[in-house]
Structure 1
C-alpha cells in the first residue's frame, strides 16, 4: 500500500446529492401499487443508505416476502421512470459539491471514491447527469452486503492501495459512519442529510463542504 496516497470516500444520497424528493416519491408509488399505506417521510428518510431489500423490510415488517419483493421492484421502476428526462434536477447536488470535488481532485495524492447504497445503475446515472468523472473507485449496493458492513470500504482500499489510516468516509447517516468505524477509517459527518448529525458518533463533523479540505489537511498532518 502506498504511504503517499489518501482515499476520500463519499456516500451519495444525502451527502453529495439531495435525492429525498425522488426517493420518497418512488416509495409512495411502490406502496400504493401494492395497495398499502405508504410510510411517513421521516420513516423513508431514516432507511436511506441501506440496500433496498433491507430498507423495504424495515418499512414493511408485516408484509410477506412476495409483497416485499414486489415493493422493491415497484420502487426501482418508479425511480427509473422519474429519472428519465429529469437530468440534474432529479437528484441535485448540494451547494459547494462541485467546487469541493474539483479542489480535492486537483491534489495529486488524493483519490476520490463513492460508497453508496444505490444500485450500480442508479449510481452511474447520477455520475453521468452531473459529469462526476473524478471518482476512481465506485462501490454500490449491487456488489456488497448492505451498510454498515465494511465491504465497500475494504474493496475501495484494495482497489486504490490505500491504508485505513489514510482513508476517510464522509456521510450523513448512521449507516455511513458505522461502516467507516467497522472498516477502521476516519469518519466525517455532514449535517444536511437524512439522520440527525448529533446521533452519528463521527470522528469529525463539517458544516459545509468548504470546511472539508482544511479538515483533511489537519487529519493527515496529525
Structure 2
C-alpha cells in the first residue's frame, strides 16, 4: 500500500485565474484612498499574500492604513459578486487533475491560500469542489505566506509529515512556504510569477500543464 501523502494547492494563479479581477479591484481601492494605481504587474506580484500584507507591500503604508484598504478592497469584491455576472474560472485541466488525485488511494488534498476562508468556500462551491479537500489553510487562522504555518497546520490536522507533503503553486511565496515547512514544491508556469523566480525560490519541479502534475508528484516524493 502506498503511504499517505498530503497534496496542498494554492488557489489564485494555480487553481483559478483571478488575476484580472484582483488587479481591477486593487486599482479601484488605491484610487479610493487617493493613491496612484498599481499596474497589473504590481498587483500580480503580491497575489498569494494575505490581503493586509499585500496592501502594505503595494502601498508602502502602515498596518492601520493597510487594514482600511483591505476593507475597501473586500467591499468592491463583494459588490462584484452581488451582481452575479463575474466569477473566477478554473484553469484548464484543474478539475480533472483534482478528480484524479482525489481518487488516488494515498492522496489527501488541501488548500493553502492567501484568500480568506469565506472566499475559499465560495470558490469551491462554485466549481463543485467542496468535497475534494480535507484541510483548508487561510490567513484566517495562519500567518501570511511564506511563513510555514499553513503547511505545518495542515500536516498536524492530517497526521502527515511535511516530508510526505507537496505544495503546488504559482508564486515564490508558495515555493518558500513549502521549502520552509520541509515539504516538496511544484511550481506551475501559468500563474503570476515568472518561471525563473520560481526556480530561484526553490521549486523542485515546474510544470506547464495539469496533465503533467501526477508524474511530478511521484517524482518529488520518490
Matching of residue 46 in structure 1 with residue 45 in structure 2: yes
* CA 1:64–1:146: 2 relative to 1, 3 Å: closer
Q: Over the residues paired in the alignment, what is the CA RMSD in angstroms? A: 1.6
* CA 1:103–1:74: 2 relative to 1, 3 Å: same
Selected match of 1:123 from 120, 123, 128 = 120
Structure 2, unpaired ranges of 5+? none
Q: Corresponding residue for 2:219?
A: 218
When normalised by structure 1's length, the TM-score is 0.93
1:25-174 pair list within 5 angstroms: 25-61=24-60, 63-86=61-84, 89-132=86-129, 133-174=131-172
CA distance in 2, matches of 1:178, 1:198: 14
Contact kept? 1:19, 1:92, Cα under 8 Å: yes
Deviations 1:121-155 (A, max 9, x none): 11111111111120000001111111000000001
* CA 1:86–1:21: 2 relative to 1, 3 Å: farther
Deviations 1:137-192 (A, max 9, x none): 00011111110000000010111111122110000000000000000010000001
Structure 1, unpaired ranges of 5+? none
Q: May I ask how many residue pairs the two structures share in their alignment?
A: 218
CA distance in 2, matches of 1:29, 1:124: 25
Deviation at 1:69, TM superposition (A): 2.6
Deviation at 1:68, TM superposition (A): 2.7
* CA 1:164–1:64: 2 relative to 1, 3 Å: closer
Contact kept? 1:29, 1:74, Cα under 8 Å: no
CA distance in 1, matches of 2:217, 2:99: 15
When normalised by structure 2's length, the TM-score is 0.93
